[in-house]
Structure 1
Amino acid sequence: MGNFINPLLKTAVHSDWIDYNGHMNDSAYALVFSKAVDQLMDSLGIDAEFREEYQYSIYTLETHLVYLKEAHLNQELHIILQLLDFDSKRLHVFFTMNDEQGNRLAISEQMLMGMDMATGRAAPFPPAIQSKIDTLGKDQQILSKPEEAGRRIGIRRK
């Protein structure tokens, strides 16, 4: 599907994203993954005009973010999308943040929900949006599930 060419998002590490440790701040990783959700919405057709006209959007319900390597000033970041699962209202997505050489820097697994903005309640995806999601799901069904998907946080005890 032409609108879902990976990487979904390309950006570079901004100077105001650098923290006192000399690398990208943890909140900046979250910001970049949030921008990837915005790009996903645009790719599905849920852009600013659509949100205004139909009072429909996608909200993030849950995020699991794992930091794998440090990102540094001006480093190029590529965000790759994998749609793990979906239904009539929800998207279970997995984003991978890579550097220009393809090294994994971070991952973010997210549950997203279609929302009627007028009522503030969950609502099914409009038919044109659902059609694009169906196509994306079909296109990505051959991909294996990332080993980190479904990961739980906790201290391992021996």
Structure 2
Amino acid sequence: MMILETCVAPEWVDYNGHMNDAEYARVFSLAVEALMDHIGLDAAGRQRHGYTIYTLETHLCYRREAHEGQPLRVALSLLDRDAKRLHAFFELLDEAGNLLATSEQMLMGIDSEAGRPAPFPAPVEAAIGALPHVARDAWPALAGRTIGIRR
């Protein structure tokens, strides 16, 4: 499911002439915000439910360079979920569908007033249920990776 469309802003380009590594994280952060909007946690929804989402962990893999002005699209797949967490996988694609980067994230639902984890409100839970879910045996190859030097 395409969750975000944007393009490489001039201020995202570094001294190497391509999008800086931190800006990939920015694009994936924008994708999380787009996901929140999609499931009813836009500004009004956060206010109404007294609820938000925090990012607990991110694993970003860089595959190709992106350049100034280049159109970008972010696709979302839900790898797993429970009553208050989402295990999400985002793919950053160029206009031809080439994979530029991935971001695997663990997201936690938070009761804004208590500042503590809490189950998703019912309407948000229903919207999450409609997201594309990937069975464990069909996860993308870059999902579930660990960092280490191969010996």
Residue aligned with 1:8, SS: strand
- 1:140 counterpart letter in structure 2: H
Q: Distance in 1 between matches of 2:45 and 2:134?
A: 28
Alignment of 1:119-134 (within 5 A): 119-134=114-129
1:79 maps to 74
Percent identity over the alignment? 55
Runs of 4+ in structure 1 off by over 6 angstroms are none
Q: Does 1:111 align with 2:88?
A: no
Q: Distance in 1 between matches of 2:97 and 2:130?
A: 26
Residue aligned with 1:128, SS: helix
- How far did 1:140 drift? 3.1
Q: Distance in 1 between matches of 2:141 and 2:49?
A: 37
Instruction: In structure 1, list runs of 5 or more residues that go unmatched.
Output: 1-5
2:145 maps to 151
Residue aligned with 1:46, SS: coil
Contact preservation (8 Å) 2:55, 2:107: yes
Contact preservation (8 Å) 2:49, 2:121: no
- How far did 1:141 drift? 4.2
- How far did 1:53 drift? 2.6
TM-score, normalised to structure 1, is 0.91
- How far did 1:99 drift? 0.2
Alignment partner for residue 21 of structure 1, among 10, 16, 21?
A: 16
Instruction: In structure 2, list runs of 5 or more residues that go unmatched.
Output: none
Q: Distance in 2 between matches of 1:54 and 1:7?
A: 25
2:65 maps to 70
